[in-house]
Amino acid sequence: MEENTELKGKVVVVTGASAGLGRAIVREFAKHGAHLGLLARGKDGLEGAKREVEEYGGKAVIVPTDVADPDQVEAAAEQIEKELGPIDFWVNNAMISVFGPFKKIEPNDFKRVTEVTYLGQVYGTQAALKRMLPRDSGSIILVGSALAYRGIPLQSAYCGAKHGIQGFFDSLRSELYHDNSKVHLSMVQLPAMNTTQFSFVKSLLPNKPRPMGTIYQPEVAARAIVHVALNPQRELYVGYPTVQAILGNKFVPGLLDKYLGSIGYEGQQTDEPKDPNRKNNLYEPLPGDYGAHGDFDAQSWDFSPQVWAATHKAVVWGALASVAFTFGVLATRKWS
């Protein structure tokens, strides 16, 4: 994606900015000259993200924040506006998860995933709207997943949180329409990605966890999110597997229950036994700067034809119209 001057000097807040997809989102906005407010718990990763923003010539403010605490989120928004100016875009990306059968997940762990992954987006949206509504401008992007529509085994807490975000999104958009608000609200639904979460998510599985199905590099999603920021729309699906999962669940949900029950356990684990001393970031961040990519670079796609088509609709429709016109001319000549 070429540099877009529309983002130059704009203020963008990204939650979960220290690693994984959040880190890729930060880099993508920074490439276009945006200034970044960086929220996450891990200070090492935040410092690394700040350096990258500054290398692109932008400004960055880091605010160590647990998005499960609405007071911390509100304080972060206040600090960012004081140091960078009015917030133009807010990207709710922070997440955590627990991998394991529901029957083995502790209630407090399930609650923690819900508070960060679901309520973190609610609190972020509240903080953004508090500032955007009086100005009647701004854009909020909720980071969703194919799992917001179709749950899979071993990720009940995460899937439940993403489903909750989807319902919240529908409700809030209706309210914004009622109020004739010019604040934009969008949701981007993601596929399996090669992010750092698989290295430190809490796992009850015997083997090392892995993304299920076709894996994409986080930059694919980051570019899609920047596109939505520049071209507000209700929803954007990233990757054909996302489209496939959402449509499949709409038409054959019972069949998917059985299919995922048969492949979902093996499909989310590598052949490598889990390190018995493995640490996780469920309640506390792990020290270190983990960057954006996980351990699955060799298996990951760095381009999605489906995303390209979805973000270049004018070109696609023009090409289809040209093809249709050509066939029409040929058919007319044949029968004339």
Supply the residues annotated as catalytic. Answer: 158
User: 21, 118, 124: which is closest to 63 by C-alpha?
Assistant: 124
Angle between helices 120-135 and 156-178 (to 10 degrees): 20
- Give the bridge partners for 263, in sequence order: none
SS3 content of the chain, % helix, strand, coil (to 5): 55, 15, 30
Q: How far apart are CA 286 and CA 304, in angstroms?
A: 32
- Give the bridge partners for 145, in sequence order: none
Query: DSSP secondary-structure letter at 19?
Result: S
CA–centroid distance for 197 within its chain: 13
Three-state DSSP state, 281: coil
Angle between helices 20-31 and 43-55 (to 10 degrees): 20
User: 251, 270, 272, 268: which is closest to 260 by C-alpha?
Assistant: 268
User: 293, 294, 295, 290: which is closest to 46 by C-alpha?
Assistant: 290
User: 114, 327, 93, 330: which is closest to 229 by C-alpha?
Assistant: 93
